[in-house]
Amino acid sequence: MDNLTPYSSSASEKYPHIDHVLVIDDSKAILLIVKNILSTFGDFQITVTDDPAKALSIIARNPKRYSLILTDLNMPNIDGMAVLRGLGEIGYQGTVGIISEMEKRIVHLAADIAKGYRLRLIGCIAKPLQPEDLNGLLLKADSLLANQHHSLDLLSEQQLRAAIADERIEAYYQPKVNMKTHEVSSVEALMRIRLQGETDAVTPNRFLPLAVSLNLLDVMTNIMIKKAIADLPKLKKQFGDSVHLCINLAPPQLENLALVDELQLMFSSNGVGPEQLVLEITEDNALRSTHQLETLNRLRMRGFGVSLDDFGTGFTNINQLRHLPYSEIKIDRSLIINIHRDVFCQAVVHSLIEIASQMDVNLVAEGIEQVEELTYLFGHYDEMLIQGFLISKSRSLSSLISWHVTWQKQFAKLTQGS
């Protein structure tokens, strides 16, 4: 089948940021099935082809033509790995999904390779294809494309420096919930900027790359920490004195050997002890330098909690977990998605549960978006902390307090029957 003439679906629009979907597979039957399923989901064009070479040629001439590309892996002549490499070389900026019947480890490695090509991978689904799996990919693609659309409106250097000068850096909060007690154990402070004339707070995708390039991340983090410290009494009143405040740090920030002293002075001068704080270190870069490791060790020596964020994205192995003094491990969304059906993810999370228990560290499942994921975790690992959009998005302090009023009833409904 070589149907490179697009078919336009007639269903009501559910995915406003998806204009055109391309499906690549060597099976005419699979292409027909996918096309029929997709046609029920939204008002977007659907193109299907069993000719990867021709598809790559068309994409190369117009990389913005497709919002989402779904590709099989095991195809003759040009396989899915070559398709992913080709998309990376073209500089394709849309979203990509993998559909395959191959062994899970092969599919997961292909996914890691796709990320290495800087492709916007939204997930992998197995054959035989299910409508709910394709719907899940469409939802993720639409969400990512929406964020990409907003990120095009990047802050200028002048806007960023003005926001810093006026201290218009704010803290939004996303709760981490103890599944056993249903209570909020900690809140993660996430950086936002409030611009004059804009109703919504500006999210990091509009300012973070610029802040890093201008070496302004440290001063912005300090402003946000001051705002979070000011909010801490209200957070304690709402969630109890034992609630922890979590602050994100990027690995390059750990190069600053004075960081721990600066943090300790900032907190102690406001009557906040280090035991109330958790510093979340993102796993987007490996901790390798002696300065980074020294700062990490000093944080723990001074009593700060240290969380390994986004575990599972590739830079920290199990051996490092055993030797670096983390007090918390956050399991990346990639290991939580569809865990109720994914035996591989179940095995990895089960192993992490055992390791966390042996190390006496907290384990957090982040990025929970589906009721089925929460139900599975609640039924198997009730000692775990949970975080994600299904529980709560990041919120202003006032919105977080309003959310908490109805949280217990909401949790009971979400876990009913588990």
Which candidate, 22, 24, 34, 127, places its Cα nearest to that of 82?
Answer: 24
Architecture of domain 157-414: Alpha-Beta Barrel (3.20)
pLDDT in tens, 386-418: 999 999 999 999 999 999 989 877 877 777 755
Per-residue confidence band for 217, with pLDDT thresholds at 50, 70 and 90: very high
pTM here is 0.76
Give the separation between CA 83 and CA 23, rounded to whole angstroms: 12
Give the residue range(s) of CATH 3.20.20.450 domains in the chain: 157-414
Q: Which residue has the tokens 């410290």?
A: 229
Across 137-254, the runs of DSSP E, i.e. the strands, are: 169-178, 184-193, 244-249
- 52-56, 301-305, 352-356: range with lowest mean pLDDT: 352-356
Distances (CA, A) of 207 to 145, 169, 197: 17, 11, 17
pLDDT in tens, 105-125: 898 899 889 988 989 998 889
Contact between 141 and 133 under an 8 Å Cβ cutoff? The reply is no
Architecture of domain 2-151: 3-Layer(aba) Sandwich (3.40)
Which backbone phi and psi does 395 adopt, to 5 degrees?
-140, 160
Give the residue range(s) of CATH 3.40.50.2300 domains in the chain: 2-151
* Mean local confidence (pLDDT), 180-203: 92
For the record, the structure tokens of 287 come out as 């901790």
Question: Does residue 355 register a pLDDT over 70?
Answer: yes
Q: What is the mean pLDDT of the chain?
A: 89
- Identify the pLDDT of residue 153: 77
Percentage of the chain exceeding pLDDT 90: 63
pLDDT in tens, 150-187: 555 789 999 999 999 999 999 999 999 999 899 999 99
